[in-house]
A and B are shown apart, each in its own frame.
Chain A
């Protein structure tokens, strides 16, 4: 790979990409982004070269070297540009807590997110209940802190907030209202959206919903 500096391979609807964009923005890092045309129809040669194992965005290419997997990229960014806006908590125990919850959320949403969007009937209802149970655990973890990181916007906030742009889609498909079920979490969503890094990175939830409908049609899912 010949890319110098910082390049981000991305697709606009991916919350995993948004994580990286937020982190780069918070740290004030200049980067070039290369958008995949339509990740569901085909992948660019650069993406396949940079991420041959998973063939997924995001990939950060820093001075020609690719780093894959969004959580991995966040940790890398924080290690390399450590003097600018630290993302990871300072204490190892707090870091472990953030990493634990990211791992928890990522494993949950990979299966549950798809089922809330793509399936029907009992399967969809089960997925919805699992999702709400998980969000309530996160709301408990947040407590009455402004951010998951306490007073400081940090790793866990950055990892979770991009998924808020899919909440409208989940609520509409599965018929629930997060304001009523997780009010503190929704307050946190609003607070995060006041940050320029977040409002720049997250697309309009209605655009995400419309795209969800389009993808379902494209993949032949009713």
Chain B
């Protein structure tokens, strides 16, 4: 009896030690949905729903794999899970949402000071629309009350969506419609309310505002050195109110002279260093247009300054000035006092126009693109319709410009000066893209954050004006998708160099989602000076705090450290593609059928898990064999060598 008992226990012991492995294997290889659900961060953090607030419908469920995720996330909550300091402002039953893909859905709308939340319980799983109000560009009442007594509202969104809702005419005319409440909170700036980022009270392990420090970034580049110094001339933003306080300038130009150069450059945006080549010392510098005007004004100081930039690089006796604009536009700017450098005045400098159009052309192009892709796509002329938006052509020109800059610096060992008119839109696109091609550091997650903080935020890309945070004035001519274009170019690069970037597509989409969400302070205001004045770093959370708290979500598993490689993308239109995963992501039929990034993530998770288990077992085996008698000194346990990691 006892014997058989011991055999049993032995058997069970064995099976218990064998089982977990079988389980873990099968769970990782077969049931993807479970894993993906686990991998999501706890839903207390809402950005998760911001980024994936797609309308989900069971109709389009192709394989259970993708749908299971939804079932778990949506659970049965009637209301949204509120963020810290998020408060419900109004709720309405029996609201109809006209989903362009599924049709009319009847449900409940909740409006908070952060979001619009629509839920339809009639479907299985429940249909949820979770929209940060920052995304809303315009709310319009469509028509007057119809005969059936319905009032209809259209929401035009900044992220390539239009949403339509309707509800019954209120009997109580005194009571405000929920959409009037929504207007109030969608445009807080216009209504004298704070932007939600200033109220959001989530705490993250890392302070994202510390990601970028200008001095340490210049130090990383090797600045100061014998040719370049850090200047504090703009410490109080007196020389240039749209520039950062810390600037890198040629050593032999004193601050006083810098001020005189500033007088000759539009908005005082003097040429300053963006990036220096670690070997050749060729530099990328950025500025605004010179104030040449119709009379061809010259500035001795400016000419000397550019000469100093050229002299700082011993490898070349030439300087390239890349003017991002089409030459016609650059010439037209002379009428307004601006213009471009004449090659007579700037000896040894060669001026190149990059033919990139202005913010108005870009805005119009994206508007056309939206017409083509949302909500429904006309199948018969898809490609020529896409072509007629010129969106990819603009992307091509920006990438081609950045490529020329990178090539001059890397292959030509020549320093370049980049500007457009004001030097905060096209210039930012070009310098940051060129830097992304030249320097592998910027292709890491942290490096990319630094790149955005530096070239876009600190150098005064006017996010507030270009995006129009909380502002109801949707026709404002200052709005333009300049930053989206840049992220699109980055995405094109990741497609051509899938192993060169530490971040994945989801990272880029998340950045764009929070460009609008107003949940984080990162993209608020127009300049460093404004952000300091508004105490944005003190009063808001940085997007990087959120992103850096869950890096595994944003990591590209195929990343191999390419830090020493310079990327030269193919910029032919043939090799560019519409970023379907961003522009057409609301269309359920464009969802990936088998999300391969999910599979990659699983592989990495499995690797970590296995590595851990190998270590554990190794330790246990060593312990055991050490404690057992010396008779088994030659047992195979000893001969095991640790597995080498070759990644």
Partners in one complex: no
